[in-house]
Structure 1
Amino acid sequence: MTKAIKLLTALPPPQRQRLMTLAHEVSFPEDSRIFEAGGTADRFWVVRSGAVSLTQQVTSQQRVTVAGLGSGDLLGWSWLFPPYRWDFGAEAFSPVRAYEFDAAAVLELCEEDPQLAVILVRSVAEILAHRLETTRGKLLEQYSMHRRSAL
């Protein structure tokens, strides 16, 4: 399995510095919902400390954690792709500190700096590919455990 990419360290220093001019420090208390699936995706975060659970609502009563995020991880990618709605929900598993970025401001900065745009999109794509690979592995593991217990 490939190593997880961290968005801010993937950017060369000049592009990282430009992006960080748009960062706002925020915090979320433990057990708080950061966003819900289906909501408007108009921002994203880079986790500075703490843990975030990405969740999927499977029934009206049950959420399943599909991924855990920690320091340096990108939280939110739906701001980059139409229809700009969150695919998952997110919850602070512990107290969380993060950098928050307004999607419209970042996209405007990308218009001004095409090199930043290319690097940012490639980095987000690499992050998504890694998360998909991780999720696939977890699903295969669960399937094989379920299959063994059914025999």
Structure 2
Amino acid sequence: MKRRFRHPTPEVLGALRRSPYFREMPAQKLEEMSRFFREDFFPGGSLLLEEKRPARRLFLLLQGAVAVSIRRGGEELIVEVHRKKGDLIGWSALVPPKQYTATAKALEDSRVLSIAGKDLEDFFRRHPSCGWLFLKKLSTLIATRLHRTRTFLAENLR
């Protein structure tokens, strides 16, 4: 099946250039990669992704607010709220077993850029130096979240 490529819009390119996850990539590579992104709109209250579902897409927040929560027992525990333009949501789309580990819900009308995890992986296979730049930023994000989780557990399991 042949994939149809979009022409990158100035807004998509601008958002990627400002994103800490993509801004260090060469302009030509960024433009090529931007063709795989699409802009999505999520009304307040709608789900971007759901815990334990297959992780297929990665999201970059453009506008709005998104709560990330996990279910424990019958309760929903909000672990993070994204409000910052450029925040990355759904990185499980790149990490085996490619299953979302949390639910992300729009707290208000929100706009995001999204890309299929497979498309991003294919791009990084063709351009390993871009993959390395992204991986450095992603590993920092994961380490930060791990640190916050450990701190939370230490404070709440005394």
Bigger RCO of structures 1 and 2 (CA < 8 A, at least 6 apart): 1
Matches within 5 A, 1:1-151: 6-60=20-74, 62-70=75-83, 71-137=85-151, 139=152, 143=156
| Pairwise CA distance, 1:132 | 2.6
In 2, the alpha carbon distance for the partners of 1:97 and 1:116 equals 25
Shift of 1:118: 1.1
Residue segments in structure 2 that go unaligned for 5+ positions in a row: 1-18
Alignment root-mean-square deviation, CA: 2.2
Pair 1:132–1:13, CA change in 2 (3 A):
farther
Q: List runs of 5+ in structure 1 lacking aligned partners.
A: none
**Native 8 Å contact 1:6 1:74 kept in 2:** no
Change over 3 Å in CA distance of 1:133–1:14 after alignment to 2: farther
Q: Is the 8 A contact 2:49 2:90 kept in 1?
A: no
Query: Do 1:52 and 1:90's aligned partners in 2 also have CA atoms closer than 8 Å?
Result: yes
1:36, 1:88 within 8 Å by CA — same for their partners in 2?
yes
Taking structure 1 as the reference length, the TM-score comes to 0.81
Matched residue pairs, number? Answer: 139
How far apart, in 2, do the equivalents of 1:14 and 1:141 lie?
45
Identity of aligned residues (%): 23
